[in-house]
Chain A
């Protein structure tokens, strides 16, 4: 499915402030699984997502998706194979457009955009069904501008927009971190339902150990650009993760 081969990435290259995030990093993700990536700040988990999505260029190495080398594809070309939900609820939607208009845009992904009208009646039923599945009452707000929705509602909408065309790989970039705990829980449950229903391969970056374990099949912990733990989620306890985490944080403070 996704193969990351011998990946190198540094920031502020050739200055005194050079940070080497990845030095020959390798990773393989299997189809139809949800892999959670955790680790302390600066461990490289967000950088990894950005390199996979093409928001950042790699220094060296290969990113292979479904046996196709996508390393040199620009972000918008890669986007046709990927879906991504960002941390900020406003990143995945067009705030001044209505829910219906946002969904109509997401539904055109991968097709040619032309001078035909965007919003089509024939898709209405499908959209309403999607919103009903979310169970947030958004099906009654089709003509509401997205900027008037709550963070949780917007993030749920971002999620169904990102997953609508069943991407080969879905990237969840701490997508519940900006939400309050109750909303975060609702969005995570909706995420699980959606992933299971459509068998979407997912890479989920999270700061939340409990969520990472609960919603993934495989858990990977990064530190300084290296994998320090890689296990099936069912074989790890939250305490085990927290212990490693604390030890790594202590190491940093002492260092």
Chain B
């Protein structure tokens, strides 16, 4: 049981990097970016490529981030310049990445056990805690900068960004690049952690990310002081812990994906159905207030 919790924690922290990336597109920019299904394995394949060529694990991981950002740039350009809808743009990038990933090393799966990894000399848990906290602090600081605020405003109200004299497309590009960079980094960490790279490792990863984000929002709903990055981390770790415990209790690991999808369906539909109800109560209050005002002089 203890080792299961530690494994879940370690994997949860790796997925926290993924969830923080997807938070940028899904929560901040309000884009469902499916290219992450390709950039997650891309990070792993890029790591394998450079690690096997003798680059250090740190350099190889950073290169994974760089390649991921470039993939994000492709999606952004399809979307911003060629006016392809974001959902389709993501699917197209993901599809191109499938071929690209296979071509990168000429193989669909590669064992990495014999290579050095970031986890070779240090406990995975300690390293991942440090990596996740580091990325969280950097992202939080970035979102407090002038550019960071414009990124948030681009998702919130594009018209305002343009009225400030700025091209909102620039911020969509920055957001998608940053998000996919983080997703690829998460993929490279996962490859190093599990000791192999596989072409299927990105399949339905978007659902894992969304489930993490949604759990993170719900778990800490009562506190409005938690940043979205903290929520993503809490969500990803809880998701993995819940999954780990479920498997430990006898659930088949192959069922986990369906469970993730169901988690997403339940939480999103819960929010969709509960909010109009809450809104209708608020609205009634509003109407009563307006009614009590003096009749319209104009009419």
Give me the interface of A with B, judged by CB distance under 8 Å: 74-77, 79-80, 83-84, 86, 90-97, 101, 104-106, 108-110, 113-119, 162, 180-182, 208, 210
Complexed CA–CA distance, A139 and B150 (Å): 23
| CB atoms of B162 and A79 under 8 A apart | yes
Give me the interface of B with A, judged by CB distance under 8 Å: 142, 144-150, 152-153, 156-157, 159-168, 290, 293-294, 296-298
| CB atoms of B165 and A93 under 8 A apart | no
- Contacts A96-B152, A180-B293: A116 and B163 contacting too (C-beta < 8 A)? no
- B161 CB contacts on chain A under 8 angstroms: 76
- A74 CB contacts on chain B under 8 angstroms: 167
Complexed CA–CA distance, A117 and B152 (Å): 14
Complexed CA–CA distance, A104 and B164 (Å): 11
- B159 CB contacts on chain A under 8 angstroms: 86, 91-92
Distance between A148 CB and nearest chain B CB, rounded to angstroms: 11
Complexed CA–CA distance, A91 and B163 (Å): 10
Complexed CA–CA distance, A96 and B155 (Å): 10
Complexed CA–CA distance, A80 and B228 (Å): 32
Pick the contact of B165 from A79, A91, A104, A116 — CB < 8 Å?
A: A79
- A108 CB contacts on chain B under 8 angstroms: 146, 164
| CB atoms of B298 and A210 under 8 A apart | yes
- List 7 tightest A-B contacts by C-beta distance, closest first: A113-B146, A80-B165, A94-B153, A94-B156, A76-B162, A115-B145, A118-B146
- Contacts A95-B157, A97-B152: A76 and B147 contacting too (C-beta < 8 A)? no
Distance between B4 CB and nearest chain A CB, rounded to angstroms: 38
| CB atoms of B152 and A93 under 8 A apart | no
- A94 CB contacts on chain B under 8 angstroms: 152-153, 156-157, 160
Pick the contact of A114 from B147, B162, B293, B294 — CB < 8 Å?
A: B147
Q: Describe A's contact surface by its main secondary structure.
A: loop
For B27, the closest partner residue in chain A by CB is: A96
| CB atoms of B294 and A182 under 8 A apart | yes
Q: 10 other contacts beyond A76-B162, A93-B157, A93-B160, with CB at 8 A cut-off?
A: A76-B161, A76-B166, A94-B160, A104-B149, A108-B164, A110-B165, A113-B147, A117-B144, A117-B145, A181-B297
For B171, the closest partner residue in chain A by CB is: A113
For B154, the closest partner residue in chain A by CB is: A94
| CB atoms of B147 and A115 under 8 A apart | yes
- B150 CB contacts on chain A under 8 angstroms: 105, 113
| CB atoms of B146 and A115 under 8 A apart | yes
For B162, the closest partner residue in chain A by CB is: A76
- B160 CB contacts on chain A under 8 angstroms: 91-94, 105
Complexed CA–CA distance, A93 and B164 (Å): 11
Distance between B83 CB and nearest chain A CB, rounded to angstroms: 16
- A83 CB contacts on chain B under 8 angstroms: 163
| CB atoms of B157 and A76 under 8 A apart | no
- A77 CB contacts on chain B under 8 angstroms: 165
| CB atoms of B156 and A114 under 8 A apart | no
- A208 CB contacts on chain B under 8 angstroms: 298
Complexed CA–CA distance, A208 and B296 (Å): 13
- A210 CB contacts on chain B under 8 angstroms: 298
Complexed CA–CA distance, A96 and B156 (Å): 7
Complexed CA–CA distance, A205 and B46 (Å): 57
Distance between A138 CB and nearest chain B CB, rounded to angstroms: 18
Complexed CA–CA distance, A165 and B167 (Å): 19
Distance between A176 CB and nearest chain B CB, rounded to angstroms: 12
